[in-house]
Amino acid sequence: MDNAGQSFGDFEHAGWEDASTITEYDRYLSLVTTQCIDALLDDAGVGAGARVLDVATGAGYVAAAAASRGAAPLGIDFSGAQVRLARERYPTVEFEQADAGALPFEPDTFDAVVNAFGMCHLPDPDRALREAFRVLKVGGRVAFAVWDVPERTVGFGAVYAAIRAHGSLDVGLPVGPNFFLFSEPERSVNALRNAGFVSPTFRQVPQVWRIADPDQLFDIVSVGTVRAAATLRAQSSHAREAIRAALRQTVASYRKGGVYEVPMPAVLATAVKPVASVPA
């Protein structure tokens, strides 16, 4: 992929339109990302009859789970390839291609807006939160899931640590938000308040990535992600082998029986759209 002169938004969009990437992500990463769906929907107050906007829906897992609760979900994604995959998988659920930073919906439309692991892929996540605020009804809830800090999200934290140790993170990719931007409570809470929300909460949800072989982490990240995969491809062959060896050693330390259980906790941030204050 040629990244010269490309914006972060265009870079992410191109990556998530690639059929091979989304297939591999769905095959491997969804085994982790789906583990916090119930907690995400619980925190957003999603129940029967709720009108729910699932931002960055991907293959549609969150929207489908909302539908199983009797809610009326609409899943959106900036990737047409993801929308097609979601429609094929869940033909009775509504999906559209749309931009999280410019939602094509009227104000006060939804009871809940949710986002599972999409925040780090948006060029302007603060704008997306303001858009979520706009389309929510008064009293509606926003909830998003992101990865915990890299020290605890071992699967991704170890990748970036190995690249820093044996290669370089400065490989000419378009500049975008920090991958772990919302992993800290203060950043998430402040972002929600700045968008107009009140009563923010923040909590961790344990998740485990069960991997069959210590080399699998390097292989999956290389084919099933966008930003991390591009960073790995840009390393020298010597650096890539050193990174692979470091990841092999990390994963090996999490052996449990016949598999390797790598910690991949999520953190959930939630808040409420308040009643507009009346001037005194």
pLDDT of residue 6: 85
Average pLDDT over residues 237-243: 97
Q: What tokens were used for 108?
A: 């006060």
pLDDT of residue 143: 98
At 3-56, the pLDDT tens digits run: 556 899 999 999 999 999 999 999 999 999 999 999 999 999 999 999 999 999
Q: What tokens were used for 70?
A: 């009797």
Tell me the pLDDT band of 276, cut-offs 50, 70 and 90: confident
Which residues 6+ apart lie within 8 Å of 110 measured at CB?
51, 52, 53, 135, 136, 137, 140
Tell me the pLDDT band of 278, cut-offs 50, 70 and 90: very low
pLDDT of residue 1: 45
Distance CA 109, CA 132 (A): 10
Strands (E), the chain: 51-55, 72-77, 94-97, 110-116, 136-147, 198-205, 208-211, 255-256, 259-263, 266-272
How high does pLDDT run on average in the chain?
Answer: 95
Distance CA 90, CA 60 (A): 7
pLDDT of residue 279: 37
pLDDT of residue 237: 97
pLDDT of residue 4: 53
Which residues 6+ apart lie within 8 Å of 40 measured at CB?
62, 114, 116, 143, 144, 145, 268
CATH number of 8-149+176-209+265-272: 3.40.50.150
Task: Please state the domain extents for the chain.
Answer: 8-149+176-209+265-272
At 99-149, the pLDDT tens digits run: 999 999 999 999 999 999 999 999 999 999 999 999 999 999 999 999 999
At 154-203, the pLDDT tens digits run: 999 999 999 999 999 999 999 998 999 999 999 999 999 999 999 999 99
